[in-house]
Chains A and B, each alone.
Chain A
Amino acid sequence: MKRRGSTFVITLAVISALTVVVAGISSTISLASRARVNREAARRARVVALSGIQYGFSALVGQSTATTGQNDTWATTGCSAFTSPADIVYQVGDGYFRVQVVDATSLVDINTAPAAQLQNLPLTQEQVDSLLDFRSAGETARPDGAKDSVYNSLAQPYNAKLGRLDTIDELLQVQYFTRDTIWDIPTTSANPQVATGSSGLQPTLASMIAVDATATLPSGAGRINVSTTGGNQQQLSRQLQGAGLPISLVTQIIQRRPFTTYGALLRLPGVTIQQATIMLTRLQVSAATTAEGRINLNTATQAVLQTLPNLQSDVAQAIVSHQNSPLANIGALMSIPGVSVPNAAAFVDSVTVGSQTFLIRVVGWVGNTSVALEATVTIAGGTPKITKIVDQPFPNMDVRWNWADAASTNTLVDPSQVTTQ
């Protein structure tokens, strides 16, 4: 006998099947539409981030390359104070960006830093050797390093670059470097400890390094050149005495020429602080006007200054505490309390007070989608120019760049004035 109610069960089954089909179709459409919306949001966030780069760039127009300090316009662009980077949120229509302009010479240049300086970064000996091997010519690897033989034996082989790195993320091609080395905030006690404070406050490697950092060298018509042996000795003697150096020191300088470093000058016997100031301010030891890899005394953090092999921590601290009164020239270094002639001689050729390279770090976002970019700006012949724009790997680069918390909002473009097409 046919059971009563079977029609009802069949109807229910059909309705359920139909519901499943409709739900499936709806879910597919919803996923596709969400992907489209996300792509669009990412594109708009990128446009907002690019506008942030232009905003930062505008702060570098007219920037002097002779002296770069924390009182310059760029230093307080995007923030309420130099020590609270990017704490202002800028609104552009329905998007937002935060921006920080960084003096590249306040960072360690991994293309030029010698082994002793790299070892003071949170890197292992294997990483230091591998980086040096990767960026320098020759096929002989250091004890813990790697050349082509190692990279060619990888599953997806390539050659060691044997040249300068172009981006920070290129470190991922160097043996022993991975994401955690570069971008992760050290959560365990770093060795060596790169910054004072708890381990949670340790900066990421990415926030301490750069690949382009061109500094301005002391030069100019008023300087007396002691880098050659030629010239009229009597005239040179008169010039040096006229600059304020005593005859005994003048004689030593003339006899021991050529000098290619200020360190060698400061190591002459009996040089006083005043004489060291004169030598750094009035003498010239190189025809070059720029050099890569020097650390800017006016803008570097203590953690970065302490990577210089011959710069003691108390001197680094003294330099940082003096940064609210930027040094106008390298000779002013001697006026900082705690800086003696011998310790200045040890690091003076690794530092600068003027920069020609800046980084503009930006995070732009629309809704929940964010894009982080870093642009490199070089100032050549007085004109700033954007030479690189590099996508950053993480949307939360604000944390990895050690930015301050957002404190205020500045509306650049009123959303009510924006027509969306």
Chain B
Amino acid sequence: MSPQLYLSSSPHVHSGETTPKVMRAVLYSLVPACCVAVYFFGMSALSVLLIATLGCLATEVVCQRLMGHPVTIADGSAAITGVLLALNLPPTSPWWLTLLGAVIAIAIGKQVYGGLGANPFNPALVARVVLLISFPVQMTTWSAPAPLGSGLDLVTTATPLGEWKNAVMLTGEMPAAMQGSMVGYFLGNMPGCIGEVSALALLLGAAYLLYRRILTWHIPATYVGTVILLSGAFWLINPARYPNPVFHLVTGGLVLGAFYMATDMVTTPVSTRGMLLFGVGCGLLTVLIRLFGGYPEGVSFAILLMNAATPLIDRYTKPRTFGTLRQGGGV
């Protein structure tokens, strides 16, 4: 018999889907958002993107070398962390801050737990929150977009959510007039993190991921749905104080969070009910933090808190095994 005869347990065919393919698809899906960011924020956004991505790749190589593990940057996961981290930073982020974020994301957010698949928290968000708490000035210095070719310089200003929070803290009411329009926010013409700006570009990428079945609707739909319902309830109670749900949707990091950060497979539940619960939890926490917390934006904290709850959610949302009446088996 020929020496290359394979013996194995069934199945003997495979879908052909691999982790690097999945990761590459996620990277492709982020291209529109990155392009829009560079359009609105120019070279500063581009340099943040490059520093974050290269920083993450380099940190992964260093960590894996130090631990004597095979280097796996080719799987694309570190690159995704880098791009997502950049999208979660202000376009004016200084190079050292971006690089520090990259090191934190990969070293502390991922490799200390054992690398890909083992981290409980979304590495990019770990880095963002560490930076936000440690360097509040640099992390909350926002600039108004200066589209390429407009000749404008980046001018420091507040995000729409920050604008609202300041007004409410001072007067207890909505600001009389916001600087931008809802349509402008949706397209990305607002100050904010690099990736927060264009809901449209993010949704385009998400549509591709949904089509490729890398993303399922469960978490984004429940997350966004919960935000709409809860923020809508507050708005109906007191429209003078609370902004309407559309404002919540198109500003801040909700779309980025709901479609890219809260859907990180590693740090979210595996069962359908678990994912639904995760999305609802993220939505509740986001609205509560936005409306009543100290920070104007609550998406990062909401997702990290729900990441922490993921093992518990997994434990209590075991699917109902076929042929049993109760979840997790037993007739």
A is bound by B: no
Which residues of B are interface residues toward A (Cβ below 8 A)? none
Chain A contact residues, CB within 8 Å of chain B:
none
